[in-house]
Amino acid sequence: MSSLSGRKKSIPQLAERTSGVANPSRRQLLTTGLAVGAGAAMAGLQARPAAAAGDPAITEVQDWNRYLGDGVDARPYGTPSQYEEHVVRRNVAWLTADPVSSVNFTPLHELDGIITPNGLCFERHHAGIADVDPAKHRLMIDGLVDTPLVFTMEDLKRFPRENKVYFLECAANSGMEWRGAQLNGCQFTHGMVHCVVYTGVKLRTILEEAGVKTSGKWLLAEGADASAMSRSIPMEKALDDCMVAFKMNGEALRPEQGYPLRLVVPGWEGNMWVKWLRRLEVGDKPWHHREETSKYTDLLANGKARRFTWVMDVKSVITNPSPQAPVTHGRGPLVISGLAWSGNGTVKRVDVSIDGGRNWKTARIDGPSLDKALHRFYLDIDWDGSELLLQSRAMDEHGYVQPTKNELRLARGENSIYHNNGIQTWYVKADGVVENVEVS
Amino acid sequence: MSSLSGRKKSIPQLAERTSGVANPSRRQLLTTGLAVGAGAAMAGLQARPAAAAGDPAITEVQDWNRYLGDGVDARPYGTPSQYEEHVVRRNVAWLTADPVSSVNFTPLHELDGIITPNGLCFERHHAGIADVDPAKHRLMIDGLVDTPLVFTMEDLKRFPRENKVYFLECAANSGMEWRGAQLNGCQFTHGMVHCVVYTGVKLRTILEEAGVKTSGKWLLAEGADASAMSRSIPMEKALDDCMVAFKMNGEALRPEQGYPLRLVVPGWEGNMWVKWLRRLEVGDKPWHHREETSKYTDLLANGKARRFTWVMDVKSVITNPSPQAPVTHGRGPLVISGLAWSGNGTVKRVDVSIDGGRNWKTARIDGPSLDKALHRFYLDIDWDGSELLLQSRAMDEHGYVQPTKNELRLARGENSIYHNNGIQTWYVKADGVVENVEVS
Q: Residue A182's pLDDT is what?
A: 80
**What residues does B90 pair with on adjacent strands?**
B105
Q: Residue A427's pLDDT is what?
A: 97
Question: Mind listing the pLDDT tens digit of every residue in chain B (440 residues)?
Answer: 233 232 322 222 322 333 333 332 223 223 222 222 333 333 344 455 554 444 445 556 678 888 999 999 999 999 999 999 999 999 998 889 899 999 999 999 999 999 999 999 999 999 999 999 999 999 999 999 999 999 999 999 999 999 999 999 999 999 988 888 888 999 999 999 999 999 999 999 999 999 999 999 999 999 999 999 999 999 999 999 999 999 999 999 999 999 999 999 999 999 999 999 999 999 999 999 999 999 999 999 999 999 999 999 999 999 999 999 999 999 999 999 999 999 999 999 999 999 999 999 999 999 999 999 999 999 999 999 999 999 999 999 999 999 999 999 999 999 989 999 999 999 999 999 999 999 87
Q: A138 and B57 in contact by Cβ < 8 A?
A: yes
Q: Residue B54's pLDDT is what?
A: 43
Q: Residue A48's pLDDT is what?
A: 53
Q: Which of B14, B71, B78 sits opposite A278 (nearest CB)?
A: B14
H helices of A30-119, where? none
Rounded CA-CA distance A185/A322 in Å is 6
Rounded CA-CA distance B125/B99 in Å is 8
**What residues does B244 pair with on adjacent strands?**
B201, B263
| B-interface mutation test, from A28, A158, A280, most B Cβ less than 10 A away | A158
Q: Residue A14's pLDDT is what?
A: 29
| A-interface mutation test, from B72, B103, B204, most A Cβ less than 10 A away | B72
Q: Residue B373's pLDDT is what?
A: 98
From B147, which residue of chain A is nearest by alpha-carbon distance? A22
Q: A38 and B89 in contact by Cβ < 8 A?
A: no
Q: Which of A118, A134, A209 sits opposite B42 (nearest CB)?
A: A209
Q: Residue A331's pLDDT is what?
A: 95
Q: Give how far B128 is from chain A: nearest CA, Å.
A: 4
Name the CA radius of gyration of chain A, rounded. Answer: 25
State the DSSP string of B13-30.
Answer: HHHHHHTT---THHHHHT
Decide if A371 contacts A382 (C-beta within 8 A): no
| Exposure b/e, A169-190, CB count within 10 A at least 16 = b | bbbbbbbbbbeeebbebbbbbb
| B-interface mutation test, from A112, A165, A382, most B Cβ less than 10 A away | A112
Phi, psi of B373 (to 5 degrees): -125, 165
Cis bond upstream, residue B260 (ω within 30):
yes
Q: What residues of A are in contact with residue B98 (Cβ under 8 Å)?
A: 71
| Exposure b/e, B55-69, CB count within 10 A at least 16 = b | beebbbebbbbebbb
Nearest alpha-carbon partner for B115 in B391, B368, B313: B368
Q: A112 and B162 in contact by Cβ < 8 A?
A: no
Rounded CA-CA distance B80/B77 in Å is 10
Q: What residues of B are in contact with residue A370 (Cβ under 8 Å)?
A: 368
State the DSSP string of A110-121.
Answer: G--SSPPPGGG-
Q: Give how far A419 is from chain B: nearest CA, Å.
A: 22
Q: Which of B14, B90, B140 sits opposite A18 (nearest CB)?
A: B140
Rounded CA-CA distance B277/B376 in Å is 31
Q: Residue B283's pLDDT is what?
A: 98
Q: Give how far B72 is from chain A: nearest CA, Å.
A: 5
Q: How far is CA A110 from CA A166, A189, A195, A201, B172, in A?
A: 20, 14, 15, 32, 34
Q: Give how far B315 is from chain A: nearest CA, Å.
A: 20
H helices of A191-304, where? 203-210, 235-238
Rounded CA-CA distance B268/B290 in Å is 18
Q: Which of B49, B91, B161 sits opposite A149 (nearest CB)?
A: B49
Nearest alpha-carbon partner for B71 in A86, A103, A190, A223: A103
Q: A87 and B119 in contact by Cβ < 8 A?
A: no
Q: Which of B72, B228, B254 sits opposite A78 (nearest CB)?
A: B254
Q: What residues of A are in contact with residue B77 (Cβ under 8 Å)?
A: 79-80, 87-89, 119-120
Q: A329 and B114 in contact by Cβ < 8 A?
A: no
Amino acid identity of residue B203, one-letter, is L
| A-interface mutation test, from B108, B158, B366, most A Cβ less than 10 A away | B158
Decide if B209 contacts A42 (C-beta within 8 A): yes
Q: A76 and B68 in contact by Cβ < 8 A?
A: no
Q: Residue B179's pLDDT is what?
A: 85
Give kind and range of the element (H or E) at residue B237: helix B235-238
Q: Residue A46's pLDDT is what?
A: 45
Q: What residues of A are in contact with residue B141 (Cβ under 8 Å)?
A: 50
Q: B68 and A226 in contact by Cβ < 8 A?
A: yes
Question: Mind listing the pLDDT tens digit of every residue in chain A (440 residues)?
Answer: 333 232 322 222 322 333 333 332 223 223 222 222 333 333 344 455 554 444 445 556 678 888 999 999 999 999 999 999 999 999 998 889 899 999 999 999 999 999 999 999 999 999 999 999 999 999 999 999 999 999 999 999 999 999 999 999 999 999 988 888 788 899 999 999 999 999 999 999 999 999 999 999 999 999 999 999 999 999 999 999 999 999 999 999 999 999 999 999 999 999 999 999 999 999 999 999 999 999 999 999 999 999 999 999 999 999 999 999 999 999 999 999 999 999 999 999 999 999 999 999 999 999 999 999 999 999 999 999 999 999 999 999 999 999 999 999 999 999 889 999 999 999 999 999 999 999 87
Q: Give how far A320 is from chain B: nearest CA, Å.
A: 11
Nearest alpha-carbon partner for A21 in A45, A44, A49: A49
Q: What residues of B are in contact with residue A256 (Cβ under 8 Å)?
A: 70, 72, 75, 78
Neighbours of B160 (CB within 10 A): 18
Give this complex's ipTM.
0.88
Number of Cβ pairs closer than 8 Å across A and B?
Answer: 465
What tens digit of pLDDT does each residue of A41-57 get?
333 444 555 544 444 45
Rounded CA-CA distance B397/B420 in Å is 20
Q: Residue A223's pLDDT is what?
A: 97
Q: What residues of A are in contact with residue B35 (Cβ under 8 Å)?
A: none
From B42, which residue of chain A is nearest by alpha-carbon distance? A159
Q: Give how far B435 is from chain A: nearest CA, Å.
A: 21
Name the CA radius of gyration of chain B, rounded. Answer: 25
Q: Residue B49's pLDDT is what?
A: 54
Q: How far is CA A98 from CA A110, A225, B73, B415, B440, in A?
A: 27, 16, 10, 64, 64
Rounded CA-CA distance A180/A105 in Å is 19
Q: Give how far A193 is from chain B: nearest CA, Å.
A: 14
Decide if A133 contacts A252 (C-beta within 8 A): no
Q: What residues of B are in contact with residue A73 (Cβ under 8 Å)?
A: 91, 99, 104
Q: Which of A57, A77, A129 sits opposite B120 (nearest CB)?
A: A77
